[in-house]
Structure 1
């Protein structure tokens, strides 16, 4: 039987909560209900809103818990509470949508009420949705590697490289096996330039640790290495937000850490049951992120240097239109040279 609906006061806004006893994380039993997820988001709302303020956000929803149907929602329903705000975003196809804009903790609690486990923000702030204010680095473990290897690349290769470039990065666990690092940047560049900057950074990480790191878009070429997913800087590619819960049996959380803590971290230690006490008891490792509005000019210099070496763009995800200068989007093992021209366009047989 469904539990009774209640109202939650969220900084002066009444948010309706239905079925708070519904199991969302069955392994956690009474600590894994919808109500407990809402309690978690209430506990971390302050730092979350600071990081998400004015960002368009997509919602990864599991209305019947993580073992049920997954809904990845990009649009706010036409009928929604008056306290919600929206922001128009443009997808690679050219279509637009009114996405949820985070301006108040009530938006996060409403999202949880709708079955949202993970919030996925864009790397822009409204109303300027054409110029990213974050460069995002995704260290994604491939089969045979895990969090320890990703953290080693982050602390041993990426951090020294950022130091050399005069850039400050802010790391977090992905909530899974990966590591995310955000670099706050000035909004002087569009998605194409920021993505190319991310490619240049990824290539330099790979050059410094070729046995541990790969930038290959094609899984068949990655091997047992950490993939630097440069395409996370493309339009409409989103990360789990800082402090978002994830679809894991123990409700892990994508948790901001200091560089010192990252090296010894165990991602399963950070869950909806443990992170509130952590946030309450420590200094915020991301407290200065909005003060570090940085230039990607050093990375664009690296783009130019790569182009002189003959290294141009890399493939976009398959859902994107063909981009100028992009190489062929075909697996190397399936590519037949005579079927492609020098611009990466397929030639008719």
Structure 2
């Protein structure tokens, strides 16, 4: 594998040859984390360094852009439509929404398109769960473990282990990563058979069952005002169509530039922490151990259809129009 390109640290703008394409980079000296002395050039260099592991997880998926033009502590805005003008080699994914609005999302297919996206001020990366050839059939079932007030991070680790045990009983392969913010993300690779709403329904059923079995540590209550204190939300709702989570290897706009890093279940059992992974050490970790989430793309995929079918009678009893 070729060495990652080096991003110039001096100057305001330049063009860098990346895999045979000229990528225009701007505002390189701008401080994105002033307290850390981390510039936009450092942000780009990070993504260049981890790009070999990251790009396969983004390829072919619509990207929702969360842009931070003034750095991690500044105001941000969301953008879905690929900006114009843009390089002719930037590909797009055309998705029609329920409103009838048709949006051409940018997609990442290689390192040049990744760096082009990051140069727009995207600190973390937010891909769809489905690929562009069928945006209503996702590749993953996932859970966002989000600690509420009074729930320390060790409780998130406890809930992750409970969730892993439950999913293992169902013979589901599981992959875990830090969110880079407050919690953990647990993903299950699935066959692209069920529709997004059906995947959401399974995730909801599992989350509520866990909350019934472990009410002292888990909640599935989505309304913030009604969540009991000290619980970890097993958030199923991010499985809804068009929702996104920060991707694996995403830097988060937090004071320490922490990263949503893939971890092993052994590390979870040993007491991993959010601050263990940041812009300064994740590239070296990837060089040393590779991509712990490679199996999410290349390994066994779970057939969710039996669970989808089992839940259909329940839905029909509760909702005659289901």
Distance 1:91 1:212, change over 3 A: farther
State the partner residue of 2:95. Answer: 89
- Report the TM-score, using the length of structure 2 for normalisation: 0.90
> 2:55 matched to 1:43?
no
The partner residue of 1:209 within 207, 211, 214 is: 214
State the partner residue of 2:151. Answer: 145
Return 5+ residue gaps in structure 2 as ranges: 1-9
Q: CA deviation at 1:244?
A: 0.7
Q: CA deviation at 1:302?
A: 5.6
Q: 1:162-195 CA deviation, whole Å, 9 max, x = no partner?
A: 1110101111100111110111111111111111
Q: CA deviation at 1:262?
A: 2.1
Q: Give the 3-state SS of the residue equivalent to 1:193 in structure 2.
A: helix
**1:201–1:299 CA contact under 8 A, matched in 2:** no
Q: How does 1:316-327 map to 2 (within 5 A)?
A: none
State the partner residue of 2:5. Answer: none
- Report the TM-score, using the length of structure 1 for normalisation: 0.84
Q: 1:102-131 CA deviation, whole Å, 9 max, x = no partner?
A: 111112111111111011011101121121
State the partner residue of 1:296. Answer: 304
Q: Give the 3-state SS of the residue equivalent to 2:252 in structure 1.
A: coil
Distance 1:147 1:260 in 2: 16
**1:200–1:306 CA contact under 8 A, matched in 2:** no
State the partner residue of 2:283. Answer: 276
Q: How does 1:111-190 map to 2 (within 5 A)?
A: 111-155=117-161, 157-190=162-195
Off by >6 Å, runs of 4+ in structure 1: none
State the partner residue of 1:262. Answer: 268
State the partner residue of 1:218. Answer: 223
**1:134–1:185 CA contact under 8 A, matched in 2:** yes
Distance 2:99 2:156 in 1: 33
Q: CA deviation at 1:64?
A: 1.3
**1:76–1:100 CA contact under 8 A, matched in 2:** yes
CA RMSD of aligned residues (A): 1.9
Q: 1:229-279 CA deviation, whole Å, 9 max, x = no partner?
A: 211010111000000111101111111111111232111121111100111
Q: CA deviation at 1:34?
A: 0.1
Worse overlay, 219-228 or 235-244: 219-228
State the partner residue of 1:12. Answer: 20
Distance 1:298 1:33 in 2: 49
Return 5+ residue gaps in structure 1 as ranges: 314-323, 326-349
State the partner residue of 1:26. Answer: 34
State the partner residue of 1:342. Answer: none
Distance 1:243 1:66 in 2: 16
Distance 1:119 1:141 in 2: 22
Q: CA deviation at 1:307?
A: 5.0
Q: Give the 3-state SS of the residue equivalent to 2:35 in structure 1.
A: helix
- The count of residues paired between Structure 1 and Structure 2 equals 309
Distance 1:129 1:253 in 2: 27
